Amino acid sequence: MPGLLFSPVCLTVIWFLSWSLCPSCAQIWTDEVSGEQYGHLESNVTLACNNSEIRLPVSWHLSHSTVLPWHQVTPNGSLVLLRVNHSAQGTYSCYDNSGRLLRSIKLRLGHPPGRLTISCQVPNHTHVRCSWVETVKTFLPAEYNASFSNGKEWSPCIVDVTQKHCDVVHPAFWQPIHTLRITETNALGSKNTTASVKLHELLKPDPPESVLVKELEGYPKKLLISWRFPSSWPQHDAFPLIFHIRYRPRGSIFWSEIYSLDNSIVIWDALAGHLHQVQVRTRDEINAESQWSEWSPLLLGRPWEDYTTPEPDVEPEDIFTLPTKSKPEASTPKSRGSKHGDEGNLGLVILLVLFSVVILTTIFSLIFVVWMRQRRRDHATKQELTSMVKMKSIPI
């Protein structure tokens, strides 16, 4: 009996019953292992239906839809997508003529890696952080491998994939030039990018911290400015810092500047009674080729001011007091007299104006009369000369 269960006839009956009762289970059993396939954008991508060389009529679906991008189907059932773009991404399914699922493929499209743009920051002598930016948008997940060389040997640069940077601890700072190599890899290829790094030129401390501006009591032209070393800078005498302080009255466009090796300083020439803007930055004192840090946030401070009220010089009994009794009626005659005086002044002004008008009229009249007389005389003289000329012209 057990041998009968494994006979060809019995196995055929069991397969037929499983197909009838659970077609979805049959699809799973006959399905090849689904997987991902990657393709280049703007190129042709071929999806194989199965690994069999038997030519079967098949149909392709994209995300359960029979609508496909621009394509061709080869005689062996492979699907060729032509000049694909992002819209061609998705899950492709291949079925035989009976509707049985033969294969399911998830297609992802993108580009192979390109060259990276690398930049490095050196906040102190013991730490280097290098970050990078893709020059080619690949649209695909990538892995990064980074290493750092001092010219003699390579050491790992610890990669943070999410932030796209790597860190080197305790680099050989005495070496003039270092080399960073980063390899980007995705499903379509890999690309190496190298960059030369000069640590002594890239050394740039973080800004000073906890900057404070305080007044000095009793000194209206002084300000006390204090700060702390950057927390990322090693507190060691072998790594001294120099500090650059600038300040100005608020509203001014000109800064006053001063340098210090300590972490506090007193300003002696502050403008009394005015708010001042203050900023501090720092740099490695020994390495002249290093960079200045960024300026600390802008702070405001005002010099000390004396707010006490000066005491009067007169004695209390000499202070003027208002009389207890007032006579408001006494102001009435004064105000009336003042009113009459104003009216009299107004009349005098009017008389003076009228008198001036009369005088001016008289003067203009006299000038007009004199001008008319002179004109008549000139006319008479002209007539006499004309007569004399006529008489001389008459023959005797």
Domain with CATH 2.60.40.10 in the chain: 34-110, 116-201, 209-301
Query: Which has more pLDDT, 375 or 285?
Result: 285
Position 143 scores a pLDDT of: 94
d(CA 117, CA 229): 32
Mean pLDDT to the nearest integer, 279-283:
97
Q: How would you classify residue 99: left for phi > 0, otherwise alpha for psi between -120 and 50, otherwise beta?
A: left
Beta-sheet strand order (sheet of 79-81): 45-47, 79-81, 71-73
Q: What angle do CA 41, 142, 137 make, to 5 degrees?
A: 45
The average pLDDT across 5-12 equals 42
Question: Under a CB-based contact definition with an 8 Å cutoff, are residues 215 and 302 in contact?
Answer: yes
- Nearest of 272, 223, 265 to residue 243 by alpha carbon: 265
Q: Which two tokens stand for residue 198?
A: 């000069």
pLDDT tens by residue, 318-345: 444 444 444 444 333 444 444 444 556 7
Dump pLDDT digits (tens) for 234-270.
Answer: 888 888 999 999 999 999 999 999 999 999 999 999 9
For residue 316, what pLDDT is reported? Answer: 45
Q: Is 80 exceeded by the pLDDT of residue 104?
A: yes
User: What residues are paired with 103 via a beta bridge?
Assistant: 94
User: What is the model's pTM?
Assistant: 0.61
Orientation of helix 8-21 relative to helix 23-30, angle to 10° = 120
**Is domain 116-201 classified as CATH 2.30.110.10?**
no
> Looking at residues 80-93, what average pLDDT do you find?
89
Burial class (CB in 10 A: 0-12, 13-18, 19+), 183: middle
The percentage of residues in the chain with a pLDDT greater than 90, rounded to a whole number, is: 49
Mean pLDDT of 59-80: 82
What is the structure's pLDDT at 134? Answer: 93
| Alpha carbons 148 and 166: distance in angstroms, whole number | 10
Tell me: pLDDT of 4 over 70: no
pLDDT of residue 304: 94
Share of the chain above pLDDT 70, in %: 77
The model's confidence at residue 15, banded by pLDDT at 50, 70 and 90, is very low
| Mean pLDDT to the nearest integer, 214-230 | 94
Q: Which residue would you say has higher pLDDT here, 28 or 360?
A: 360
Q: Residue 60: its pLDDT value, please?
A: 87
Q: Which residue has the tokens 């098949």?
A: 58
Predicted pLDDT of residue 392? 57
How do residues 345-388 score in pLDDT, each as one tens digit?
777 888 888 888 889 899 988 898 888 888 888 777 776 666 66
- Relative to beta strand 45-47, strand 299-301 is unpaired
Tell me if the domain spanning 34-110 has CATH number 2.60.40.10. Answer: yes
The mean pLDDT of 43-47, rounded to a whole number, is 90
Domain 209-301 CATH superfamily: Immunoglobulins (2.60.40.10)
- The tens digit of pLDDT for each residue in 138-171 reads 999 999 999 999 888 899 999 999 999 999 999 9
Give the pLDDT score at 18.
40
State whether residue 227 is helix, strand or coil. strand
